Structures are given as structure tokens and as C-alpha cells.
Amino acid sequence: MDLHKRAVLLVEDDFNIRRMYVLGLATAGYEVTAVGDADAALDAVATWQPDVAILDWDLPRMRGDELFDRLRRNAKTKQLPVMFLSNYRRSETRIAGAVMGGNTVPWLLKAETTPAQLAERVGRLLGSGDRHPTSPTAA
């Protein structure tokens, strides 16, 4: 068992897209917990600390920027690296800048990002280093 796998939280409401990216990230060696909405993401981070969170913008009941804000207000996840993976362009999300408080957050377009490219971007965001106990679930 690899005790140094990096843990990824993927928040994506579309099952097929979620599964595609989970497979790509797992193939690249990441331990992935994938959930379909912001409430499930908040439940996951209440008991487990991922190395990075990947958020969709358009989620049921709570948009990705609202989830981002909740993660930043939580002492446990305040420093958690976050990236967005969405079919919205950042410029189309007019309130994103205000909610993110000027934080530089990577923003990838699903239509232009293969699973292998996502894994590569996660690797660049995290850099090298050891981590992390196994994540609680995978979908």
C-alpha cells in the first residue's frame, strides 16, 4: 500500500464527467474522493483533509464559489489548495473575483481539459512531497 498517495477531493455533479476524471486521476496515482454536491464535499472535509479540492462552478443547491467561500472560512480547510473545473469561463462568472477575494485560483475548462491534463495540473499545483492517509470514499 502506498502511504504517500496525494488525496484529491473532486466535486462534480455529473456522474459521467465525475467518473471520467476519477479514472484519470487514479491512473495518475492520486487517491480520489468524488462527490456530487457541495454538501457532500463539506461532509467529507469535516472528517478528512484532502491535499487539493477540484470544484465545479455549477453545483446543485450551492455554487462552486459559495463552496469555495465556505472552505476558506473553515480553519481546517482555509489553506487547502483549490482549483475550478467548469464549462463556464472565469470571465462568465462575474462574482467569482469578489467571492474569491483576489485569490489566484486555477480555472480549467472541462471542454478543454482531458483527465490526463487535469492530473498534470493537480501535480503542478501540489508540487512534490509526501502525504496522506487514504481518503474516505471514491465514486
CATH number of the domain within which 23 lies = 3.40.50.2300
Residue 82 included in any domain = yes
Q: How many C-beta atoms lie closer than 10 Å to residue 78's C-beta?
A: 9
pLDDT for the residue numbered 14: 97
Helix/strand/coil (H/E/C) assignment for every residue in 12-36: CCCHHHHHHHHHHHHHCCCEEEEEC
In sign, the C-alpha dihedral spanning 95, 100, 102, 107 is: negative
pLDDT band at 88 (very low <50, low <70, confident <90, very high): confident
Query: Per the structure, how many domains does the chain have?
Result: 1
In tens, the pLDDT along 94-130 reads 545 544 555 567 889 999 999 999 999 999 999 854 4
pLDDT score, position 91: 60
pLDDT tens-digit series, residues 55-85: 999 999 999 989 999 999 999 999 999 999 9
35 lies in some domain: yes
Owning domain of residue 77: 7-124
User: In this structure, is residue 65 part of a structural domain?
Assistant: yes
Q: Quick one: CA torsion of 88, 96, 26, 9, rounded to 10 degrees?
A: -140
In a domain, 54, yes or no: yes
**Between helices 15-27 and 115-126, what is the axis angle to 10°?**
60
129 CB burial (10 A radius; 0-12, 13-18, 19+): exposed
Within a domain: 136: no
Q: Does residue 67 sit within a domain?
A: yes
**Which range among 1-10, 34-43, 102-111 has the greatest average pLDDT?**
34-43
- The pTM assigned to this predicted structure is 0.84
Q: Give a yes or no: residue 133 inside a domain.
A: no
